[in-house]
DNA sequence: AATCCATGGCCTGACCACTA
DNA sequence: TAGTGGTCAGGCCATGGATT
């Protein structure tokens, strides 16, 4: 079977499964590039793709494109899913990605120091006092909320007023891995959000369902 | 039998540079 | 300023062996 057709089958299967757009896009990105590369190397059938071929593509990504181990590992994972699918559909005997070892990666997590956080907050506070406009007020609330709850950016952005329970001091968020979770709020956060709400109400005729909005 | 723990598989969010 | 392509980084869950 041609790689192109196999990938089409695979992609529509994943679409049917209901995967997130971002996930589907990451398959698209990898396979668009991979199929371009296989064409250049005159490979067109899934049976042409041996572990050797995959390794050669990965070493191209490493050397020509400067991919680091984490990216290479992500690619191996995606290949694994794809070829695993072909095997389960009996379009291929063996999964060539199966036995590629993990690339060694260094993991370093950098976080802000207390000092940096204080600087950030004091700058934002001063800015809010000075400007007192939508952005200044909102931005301060955003940082206070992030610090006080540990929300992900995606969760913060999709936060609605109806998710926020000021009196009981908690919020519900729906974020990564499609899970709804209940997050406790510190008093500081609750106070800040209720201030923000008041600010919106004084500024706009109608309150947007979303907590953090732009001018529009 | 229950619990713990490491590992691999998979999904998805976030970041970054570049372009329009 | 928004959109996009490419890359990087979690985070959940099932599995299976080890330990209690």
- CATH for A144: 1.10.443.10
> Among the listed ranges A69-78, A86-95, A154-163, A172-181, which one has the minimum average pLDDT value?
A172-181
Calculate the angstrom distance between C1' of C4 and CA of A189.
34
pLDDT of A45 over the 70 cut = yes
Q: Quick one: A126 and A71 in the same domain?
A: no
Find and list the nucleotides of strand B having atoms within 7 Å of a protein beta carbon: 8-15
Mean pLDDT over A110-136 rounds to: 75
- Strand B proximity: list residues 50-109 of A with CB under 7 Å: 74, 77, 80-81, 84, 98, 102
Q: Are the CB atoms for A99 and A74 separated by under 8 Å?
A: no
Q: Are the CB atoms for A173 and A124 separated by under 8 Å?
A: no
Residue A65 to residues A58, A59, A72, A94, A111, Cα–Cα distance (Å) = 10, 9, 11, 28, 28
pLDDT of A13 over the 80 cut = no
Q: Quick one: A73 and A140 in the same domain?
A: no
Helix (H, G, I), strand (E, B) or coil at A15: helix
- The residues, ordered by sequence, that sit 6+ positions from A188 with a Cβ below 8 Å of its Cβ are A144, A148
Q: Are the CB atoms for A51 and A62 separated by under 8 Å?
A: no
Establish if A105 belongs to a structural domain. Answer: no
pLDDT at A112: 60
Domain that holds residue A70: 3-99
Calculate the angstrom distance between C1' of B17 and CA of A127.
29
Mean pLDDT over A76-88 rounds to: 78
């Amino acid at each position: 079977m041609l790689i192109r057709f196999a990938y089409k089958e695979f992609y529509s299967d994943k679409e049917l499964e209901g995967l997130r757009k971002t996930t589907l896009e990451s398959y698209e990105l990898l396979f668009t590039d991979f199929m371009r590369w296989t064409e250049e190397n005159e490979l067109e059938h899934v049976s042409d793709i041996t572990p050797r071929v995959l390794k050669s593509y990965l070493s191209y990504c490493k050397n020509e494109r400067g991919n680091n181990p984490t990216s290479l590992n992500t690619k191996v994972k995606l290949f694994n899913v794809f070829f695993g699918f072909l095997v389960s559909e009996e379009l291929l005997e063996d999964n060539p990605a199966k036995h590629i070892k993990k690339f060694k990666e260094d993991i370093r997590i950098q976080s802000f120091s207390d000092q940096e956080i204080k600087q950030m907050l004091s700058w934002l506070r001063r800015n809010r006092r000075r400007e007192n406009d939508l952005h200044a007020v909102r931005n301060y609330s955003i940082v206070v909320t992030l610090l006080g709850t540990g929300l992900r950016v995606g969760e913060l952005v999709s936060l609605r007023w109806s998710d926020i329970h000021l009196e009981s001091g908690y919020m519900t968020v729906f974020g990564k891995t499609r899970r709804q979770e209940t997050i406790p709020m510190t008093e500081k956060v609750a106070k800040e959000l209720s201030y923000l709400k008041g600010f919106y109400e004084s500024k706009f005729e109608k309150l947007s369902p979303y907590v953090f909005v732009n001018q529009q």
